[in-house]
Structure 1
């Protein structure tokens, strides 16, 4: 057993290491953090910006397709509504040509839905009023005679 004190290996390693500095202390004292972030590659979006002014939003005919949903041509008018929403989403994602194409599709399907709905309403009115008018045009005596026969 020796009477010499044991050397502290952890203290020796800490003395050999350079002192640790935090990110804040790594920056020079006068450096603006905002300027440092603007120059970082993660926040550099210059390549993603369009070259010209933003293009105007093409028509998506969302209102027309919503109005077409009130016509009784349900599978068709739902498709028009979906096309209109897809046109709006395409524009929001920057796809101008896709938005124009989907907007035209929404227009044509909404117009077709309105025409189909008007034809269905017309057919319903013709059938309804011709059926009711035939029943009303039968003389009351004939109706009473039919009622007596059926008893």
Structure 2
């Protein structure tokens, strides 16, 4: 009998051939063929009681996963000064909005204060993008209220200059 005809003999390229009955396509393990999921042992990352780990495509990790979730950041990272990417937390410009409330442009400065408080609340809830957007709106409205208030005060002084000079 020729050596290439033996189950473990070399093929035409000189490599040792794997017998057909030892390939994973025909190997039966635990009542399943080699095409399905094979049960894994606890030493190779399986479940502690010998069951295989669940293999799902969902972004949420299974309960027995050793890796933490990467979908949401923990609240300690959001409340800190810097996130994992090095970005600082968004500002809410609350002090600027309170300062703008002393200017005579009352509807705009109240809205700026409201946006500032909403930005702070969004950051506490973990919505960093919303907090950044609301903080930017609060800053713009506060600056408009302060500059508008200065313009109103300057216009009032200019128009009433004669009254001020006559009284003094």
Scaled by the length of structure 2, the TM-score of the pair is 0.48
| Corresponding residue for residue 152 of structure 2 | 120
Compute the displacement of 1:53 (Å).
4.2
Structure with the greater relative contact order (CA < 8 A, sep ≥ 6): 1 or 2?
1
In the aligned structure 1, how far is the partner of 2:142 from the partner of 2:99? Answer: 9
**Structure 2 residue aligned with 1:23:** none
**1:49–1:101 Cα change, 3 Å:** closer
Does residue 65 (structure 1) correspond to residue 88 (structure 2)? The answer is: no
Task: Specify the alignment match of 1:50 in structure 2.
Answer: 73
Cα distance, 1:128 vs structure 2: 1.9
Equivalence map 1:22-61=2 (5 Å) = 50=73, 53-54=77-78, 55=83, 56-61=88-93
Q: For residues 53 and 64 of structure 1, what CA distance do their matches in structure 2 show? A: 26
Distance in 2 between the 1:90 and 1:53 partners?
Answer: 15
SS of equivalent residue, structure 1 residue 76: helix
- Cα distance, 1:92–1:71 mapped onto 2, change above 3 Å: same
Q: Which runs of 5+ in 1 are unaligned?
A: 1-40, 137-151
Unaligned runs of 5+ in 2: 1-62
Aligned to 2:121: 89
> Which residue of 117, 125, 141 corresponds with 1:109?
141
Residue 130 of structure 1 corresponds to which residue in structure 2? 162
CA drift of 1:49 comes to 5.5
Q: Which has the higher helix share?
A: 1
